[in-house]
Every structure is written in C-alpha cells, then in structure tokens.
Structure 1
Amino acid sequence: MQHTRPSGGPPLGGRDAGNPDAGRLALLLDFAFLLLLAAALSRYLTHHADSPWIPWVIGLSTALAVAQPTASWLEHRRPAAPDRPRRWPVALVVALWVVLVLLAPSFAWCAVPLIYTGLRALPAKAAIPLVAALTLLVVIAEIRLPGTADATLVLLPPAVAALATGVFLFMARQAARQRALIADLVRTRRKLAATERREGTLAERERLAMEIHDTLAQGLSSQQMLLQAADRTWDTDPATARTHVRTAAEVAARNLAEARRFVRDLAPAELADGGTLDGALRALAGRESAESGLPVRFHLDGTPVPLPTAVQSALLRIAQGALANVREHAGASAAAITLSFLGDQAVLDIADDGQGFDPSAGDRRASGGARGYGLPAMRARLRQLGGTLTVESTPGEGTVVSAAIPLEQR
C-alpha cells in the first residue's frame, strides 16, 4: 500500500473536495486574497493617481477579484477527475496576477493565497515550479518598488513561499496517509463483516443439520424399521404387523410435531409448554422401550436445577441421537439414560450393553461416512455451549456416551 502521493499524481488537495474544513480554509484564503487585492489597488490609486494605466489596473483587479474565488469554488464544489486536474482556472488567475504585477509591483503580495491555490489544484510536479516562478516574480517586483532597496525583500518572499509550500506538502501527505488508513480500515471492516456473515451462515447450516439429524432423520429411521417389521410379519402375524403400523403412525405424528416446532423455533416439542429435561428424558426412555423393544431405563442423580433452554435442548437431542445409534448399530439388549447434577456441571450418560466399538476408528468413519454424523453433531452442540463429549467403548463390552456441560457458566 502506498501512503504518499507521487510527484506527478493527482492534485495535492483534490481529495479534500467537499470537506467542510477545506472549504472554510479556502473561503478564508479567498477573503485574505480580496483584502490584499483591495489594499494593493488602493495603494496604487493613491500613489499613481495620474497614471494612464489606472483603467487597466482597475479592470484587471476586478477580473482577478472574480476569477480567484471562482477558481477556488470550482476546485472545492466541482472537483476535476483525480487523474485529469483542471489547470485553466489557475492559469487564468496567475496570468491576470502577472499582468497586474508588471503594471503595479504592489500587487505582488497577493501571491500568498495564489500559492495555496496552485498547490491545492495542481499536482506537485506542476505546483512547485509554479510556486518558484511566483516567488521569483514577487522578488523582482519588490526590487522594482522605488525606495525599497532592502536585502530582506529578496530573502523574505522565498522564505515565506518555502514555509507555505513545506507545510502544505506535509499536511497533504499526512492527509493522504490518513485517507489510506481509513480506506484500509473500511476494507478490513467489510472483510470482517463478510467473514462473520460466512461463519454465521456455516454455524446456522451446521445447527440446522444437527436438528434435522436428531429429529426428522431419526423419526424416519424408526418408521422405516417399524414398517419393515410390519411387512415381514404381515402374512404370518397380522396383529403384530398392525401394532408396528400403529406405532409407526405414532412416530410419524411426533415427527410431524417436531417438524412444525422445528419450523417455528427449533425447540424440541418435549420441552415446549414448560416441560422439564428430566421429564423429557424419562418420556424418551419410555417411548424407546415401547417402540423398539429395547428396554431403556432413566435415572436422575442429584437435585435438578434450572437449565437454559439451549442446554436442555442440546442434552435431549444428544440423548435421542445416542439412543438412535444404540438401536441401529449396537445390538444391545438394554440401555440406560442417567442425568446427573453434580454441583458445577450437568452430566448426561447414555450406556448400553451392546457390541461396542473402537471410538477412534468410529471417529474416522464418522468423518467420511454417510451414516457417521451422530457423534460429530453431538460434539458440535456441546462445543457451542462450552461442554464436552466423552465416548467410552470397547469391542464386546458396550458403550457409554457422556455429555457434560458446566453450570457455573450458565
């Protein structure tokens, strides 16, 4: 990134167009210019009352009094393109002033506001030579004044011009650096906002994926299993088949309620209308026992404390997902849900006596398999709440999934 403007670049003050402070400074310099112009004209008329050039001097002074403020107004209100500075207003003002100085040297001190006009409207490679030329003309004019043979008149104009030019260039470069920093800040803020939007979109997408997996997908999986069982026993045991179909219909009804709740606010239906987490887990264990034939018992350890809705929802979804894994993959004969309040944390354990597995191998399959979304989804839910997920399993010895959420942060 380049902070300073090259010598042949746009006008040094061109980007200040429309800046209220720059406009006020330009107005002040125009006022000073008009005062200097009026003082020089008054002096000329007083000391040269019989000069034949009076009409020319008055006419040129009037034209200059109009041209200088007009050029300043154009530069401030209607700036030219940065790569194509408007040179003719400055050229016109300087030309009128040069003719006046040649006719009457006392107009030389009007050069100070003109220096600012040139620096503001022109690029440095044109403005600095112009300032040097104006300064030289002022020195010549001062020397031409009768009775003013003084060395200070030769040294003072270059000193004033150098000081004015140096201060202006310094301030212009400082302003350019500030504009560049502000532009960088704006770009960085926009990039940060875009990144936050992307991260928010990804987080929302992950959240929706978890909700769909823990509600609709699991419900459809249960319905599929029940309907397949009904199909297998339809001819040999119609009563059992009808029971499976009725159970599948009940699952579909609950799934529909979940879907509607999902559309409204993504809160589990079991926790709606003041439901408690331990009550929802106890109901989940009962349903799982009735529908899948897998005995699931629920145990509450400790004294329940109020939990935020997000925590209750996450723990219930984790329990649903863990039981779905037990039902589909574990080959277990029994399972247990334990909700423990341990003072500083709430812990949910889902244990089964199934075939077990190697947790590290399961994670590797989960990262690339279509059926392995359960555990990563559980971990993602807990990570958002500052909790942790632990999976303890050994092939042939069952599995325990443990979800812990700190209470002190809630």
Structure 2
Amino acid sequence: MARGRTMEQGRQDPDARWLARVMHVAFFLLLGASLARFLLRHPWEDRSPWIVALSGALASLYLLGPVLGTRATPRRIAWLSTVVAVWMVLVVLAPSFAWCAVPLFYTGLRTLPPRAALGLVGLLTVFVVAAQVKLSHGGWDPNLVIAPPAVAAIATAVFVHAERQADRQRALIDDLIRTRRELAATERREGTLAERQRLSMEIHDTLAQGLSSQQMLLQAADRTWDGDPSTARRHVRTAESIAERNLAEARRFVHDLAPADLAEGGGLEEALRGLATRESAAFRVDGTAVALPDRVQSALLRIAQGALANIREHAGATSAAITLTYLDDQVVLDVADDGRGFEPASGRPDGGVRGHGLPAMRVRAQQLGGTLTVESAPGEGTVLSAAIPLPRPLEAGE
C-alpha cells in the first residue's frame, strides 16, 4: 500500500510526468530505429512479417500503459508482462531490439514493488547480453557482457535514488505544512485567550465592581431606611448613578465586540471618523485609499478602539489623534495622545496595574502579518502604531 501511494504521488508529480513522457518518446524512437535497422540490414526474409507484426503489436500495447496508471494493479502487471513477453520474442528474432530495454527498465521500476522490479531488470539485462553476444557472431568482447549490466545498475541506482529523494521531499513538505497549521492554530488560541483575558479584566474592573458597589449601597439604604430616610435615599441615588455608568459600560462592550460602524457600510474611514468624534479625538487620512479586506478593517478598528480606551482610562490626556496612512505595501494606523505616558518595556500604560489591552492589540496585528509598536515615555505622551501589510497587486504577465 505504501508503495502504491508513493507511486501514485509520483504520477501526479510534474517532474515524474515529464520523465514518463521522455521515456515513452525514447521507447518509440528505439523501437522504430531497431525495426529500420533490421529491415535495412536484412532484406525481406521469412521472419520479416513476424517482426513487423510484433513491432506493431508492441507499439500498440505500449500506448495502453498511461491509460492503466502507475499502480501495481492486476491489469497493470498483466499489461507489463505482455509487453515484456512480446519484447523478448522480438529480441530472439532480431537482437537489435534489445535497445528498447532501457525504457522498459524505467516502466518496471515505476510499476512493480522493489524486489519484483529488480528481478525484472535482471531478466531484461540477461536478454540484452544474450542479444549483444548473438550480434557479435561468436566473437568475444568483454564489453558485450559487462556494459549492459553496468548500464542497468546505473539506471536502477539513479531511479531508486531519485525516488527516495522525492519521498524525503514529500515528507518534509508534509511536515512543514503540518507545522504551519499547528503554529496558526496556536496563534489563534493565544489571540483568543488574550482577548478573553482582556474582556475578563474589563468586566471585573467596571461591571463587577459597579455591581458590588450597588449591592453595598442598597444594603446600607435598607439598614437606614427606617431611622434615616434621607441617608437611605442618598444611597439609592448613588446606586442609581453607578447603575447608569455600568449600563453605559455594558453598551460599550457590546459595541466593541460587534463593529457596527463597519456593518453600516461606511467603511473603515467612516468608522474611525465616528469613533474619533465620540472620543473627542482628531482624525486624518494620508495617502491614496485602497480597498482593504474585511479582516484588516475590523482589526484596525478594534485596535483604534482599544487604544482610545487606554487613553480614556489611563493617560489623563487633553487631546488625542487618529491617523490612517495608506502606503504602497501597507496600511498604518497611528493613535497619539499628550497624556502622562509610560515605559513601553513594561507593556502597561496604567503603571503596572493592568496592561491587558496592548497584548490583545499586538495579537490582532500579528494575526494579519503586521506589527504593533508603541513609543512613549513618562510625561511625554504615547504614540501607538499598527502596520498591516497589503496584498501585492498582480503585475502584468503574472
């Protein structure tokens, strides 16, 4: 089964198909040359009709080979046996047909299991040696006995070596493809985990804490309701205010999870412009706009949302700006602010308290083959830059 799979892969290989065509052409050239040599050197004899008929039969049989495939199926083995048998009869009648053995070497090695193929090569070699000795009319020439086995050994060794090299290359390619798939799956899992961690921290620091505060305020109001109604009402109003802020936070989470701005059909620029307006930030577009894949648009919008959330929560900035730049080979999103800044080496714009937003943004960029860089220093503001490569346009003639 393994041999059959290997042979079938070889059949599909363009190099193997090319080599098969060369061998087919060589076989018919050798067969035609052998027949012409016989007819030129031996004017019409009693055996001539048989040789012409067998030559035609051998050519017709050989034409059926590609139709039967390359696997060692019963039909393929029966076909190969018939071809070899007809060739042997021709060699007995006219030894000059022995030269057709070289393409038959290749056919046998490509079709049969290793041991059977080597046996066939040995049998063909014996017939070639016998034919050469017969052509010499009894004269002793060492080359007639040594040369055919040497040629057969070289041809077999070259073929086996090429097959093993092809098997190793196929195994290496399979390993590379499997490794690439595993790496892609790992990156997706890491991105998912980073996004879950970011959302869990956001929910914990806003909704969960707000709900906890509401619970404590309502409990305090319940305890003081009969003795101090004014204090109880104040606790209820404070809890109401916290609930309003939590509702706003919940709506923001929903908005971040589903980029409705892109779904409305305005494109990335309109989505970023609307985001900048809501966050009181400036917005600018540089370069000639090009159509971006949906995944790129969604990722850049998410990154912009995350960057502005960091500015709002941690930077203490008085102004922020979003710049979308189209270059020849990439699109770049810059988000800058004049806030308090931080040490980029820590990866935490809040001074070490949280810092889950930047890893999630970096994963989004890396999943698209891009990069995320942060330039900042304490007291000097921050510039976040996400660069995503663009697909290379096809040139004329490609």
C-alpha distance in structure 2 between counterparts of 1:177 and 1:243, whole Å: 78
The alpha-carbon deviation at position 238 of structure 1 amounts to 2.4
Contact 2:132/2:144 (<8 A) preserved: yes
1:11-44 Cα shifts (integer Å, max 9, x gaps): 8744211222211221111111001111112222
| Larger radius of gyration between Structure 1 and Structure 2 | 1
Query: Could you list the runs of 5+ residues in structure 1 that have no partner in the other structure?
Result: 277-307, 320-338, 351-374, 387-403
1:183 to 174, 178, 184: 174
Query: Which position in structure 1 is the counterpart of 2:255?
Result: 264
Correspondence list, 1:4-403, <5 A = 9-10=3-4, 13-75=7-69, 79=71, 86-145=76-135, 147=137, 149=139, 150-265=141-256, 273-275=278-280, 310=306, 313-314=309-310, 341=340, 378=354, 380-381=356-357
DSSP-derived class of the 2:226 partner: coil
Contact 1:229/1:241 (<8 A) preserved: yes
Contact 2:341/2:381 (<8 A) preserved: no
DSSP-derived class of the 1:51 partner: coil
C-alpha RMSD of matched pairs (Å): 3.7
The letter for the 2-side match of 1:119 is L
Task: Name the stretch that deviates more: 51-60 or 198-207.
Answer: 51-60
The alpha-carbon deviation at position 152 of structure 1 amounts to 2.1
C-alpha distance in structure 2 between counterparts of 1:139 and 1:11, whole Å: 34
Contact 1:80/1:86 (<8 A) preserved: yes
The alpha-carbon deviation at position 156 of structure 1 amounts to 1.9
The letter for the 2-side match of 1:54 is S
Query: Could you list the runs of 5+ residues in structure 2 that have no partner in the other structure?
Result: 259-274, 282-303, 316-337, 363-377, 385-398
C-alpha distance in structure 2 between counterparts of 1:214 and 1:188, whole Å: 39
Contact 1:219/1:255 (<8 A) preserved: yes
Contact 1:10/1:122 (<8 A) preserved: no
Task: Name the stretch that deviates more: 65-74 or 206-215.
Answer: 65-74
Residue 141 to residue 340, structure 1, CA distance change in 2 (3 Å): closer
Residue 12 to residue 259, structure 1, CA distance change in 2 (3 Å): closer
1:69-114 Cα shifts (integer Å, max 9, x gaps): 32244335xx468xx9942332222122112111211110000111
Query: Which position in structure 2 is the counterpart of 1:390?
Result: none
The alpha-carbon deviation at position 216 of structure 1 amounts to 1.5
Q: How many residues of Structure 1 are paired with residues of Structure 2 in the alignment?
A: 307
DSSP-derived class of the 1:17 partner: helix
C-alpha distance in structure 2 between counterparts of 1:219 and 1:85, whole Å: 78
The letter for the 2-side match of 1:128 is L
**Greater RCO (Cα-Cα under 8 Å, separation 6 or more):** 1
The alpha-carbon deviation at position 52 of structure 1 amounts to 2.7
Residue 209 to residue 349, structure 1, CA distance change in 2 (3 Å): closer
The alpha-carbon deviation at position 385 of structure 1 amounts to 8.4
C-alpha distance in structure 2 between counterparts of 1:405 and 1:18, whole Å: 64
Query: Which position in structure 1 is the counterpart of 2:323?
Result: none
C-alpha distance in structure 2 between counterparts of 1:62 and 1:113, whole Å: 17
